[in-house]
Amino acid sequence: MTNSAPLAGKRALVTGAARGIGAAIALKLAEDGADVAITFEKSADKASELVAEMQAFGRNAVAIQADAASPQASTNAVEQTVSSLGGLDILVNNAGVLFPGSFAEQPLEEIDLQLNINVRGVFVTTQAALKHIPDGGRIVTVGSNAGLSVPFPGIAVYAATKSAMESFTRGLARELGPREITVNLVRPGPIDTDMNPADGPLAPSILPSLAIARYGKAREVAEAVAFLAGPGAAYVTGSGILVDGGIAA
């Protein structure tokens, strides 16, 4: 292991990683030396492009089609990762959805999808992964600044799902501490992605609340995830990093 490849020899799974934050995380982990599996639901072309980028670093990389709302698909994705990479050391729970709008008028379908992907999907994937992650492994979940405070209206259900990740992370860290498996969160604020573009409908509500008056970049979130996944964060667990431009300050 060298400083230029702190994750050499490690095997990682990043869920929901064909584009946006997930793709940036997967690419960063590959740059740092890990072999990486990603899951995607519909963006097959983007997933294939990302796999090629990771392979260009000399890594083993694979894309697995999986609906994050499906418990069976999530479990199968973990098993396919282990089969393809020969094991699993790092799990990054990134898959998530956001449906902004008034809670009073929100369709049940949108509520269910946010719960099933953002909460149940994390539970199912993590439980499946723990059958394989060795002592000293890493679990990192992509939460949100909205899991701590909700600075604008229209995201009540989303915020609730991300708040659930706060307690889950702390509770699981307690369980896995004896095995030195660390469990942490990265809490992005407004990041310029397809889900929340810098010129999207939420931007006028968000920008005045930022200390750094711009949307973040996916790579900036990936850097925080890579730190928590790496050897330098071996004594960091049950915790979280805000990557939010100061919106929670």
d(CA 213, CA 204) in angstroms, rounded, equals 12
Instruction: Say yes or no to pLDDT of 190 above 70.
Output: yes
Q: Token pair of 13, please?
A: 């799974």
Q: Which stretch of DSSP H or E encloses residue 126?
A: helix 121-129
Measured distance CA(224)–CA(180) in Å, rounded: 20
pLDDT at 3 over 80: no
For the cut 70, the answer to whether the pLDDT of residue 1 exceeds it is no
Within its chain, how far is the Cα of 54 from the centroid? 18
pLDDT tens column, 157-173? 999 999 999 999 999 99
Share of the chain above pLDDT 70, in %: 99
| 158 carries an active-site annotation | yes
Show the domains of the chain with their CATH numbers: 11-243 (3.40.50.720)
Candidates 158, 168, 215, 227; catalytic one: 158
Q: pLDDT tens digits for 49-94?
A: 999 999 999 999 999 999 999 999 999 999 999 999 999 999 999 9
In tens, the pLDDT along 214-245 reads 999 999 999 999 999 999 999 999 999 999 99
Reported as a single tens digit per residue, the pLDDT across 4-41 is 899 999 999 999 999 999 999 999 999 999 999 999 99
User: Is a pLDDT exceeding 60 seen at residue 2?
Assistant: no
Find the mean pLDDT for residues 115-124. Answer: 98
Read off the pLDDT of each residue in 108-127 and give the average, rounded to a whole number: 98
pLDDT band at 196 (very low <50, low <70, confident <90, very high): confident
Rounded CA gap, 187 and 66, in Å?
Answer: 24
Using CA atoms, how far apart are residues 91 and 133, in angstroms rounded to an integer? 8
Q: Read off the pLDDT band of 202 (50, 70, 90).
A: confident
CB neighbour list of residue 168: distance below 8 Å, 6 or more residues apart: 122, 123, 141
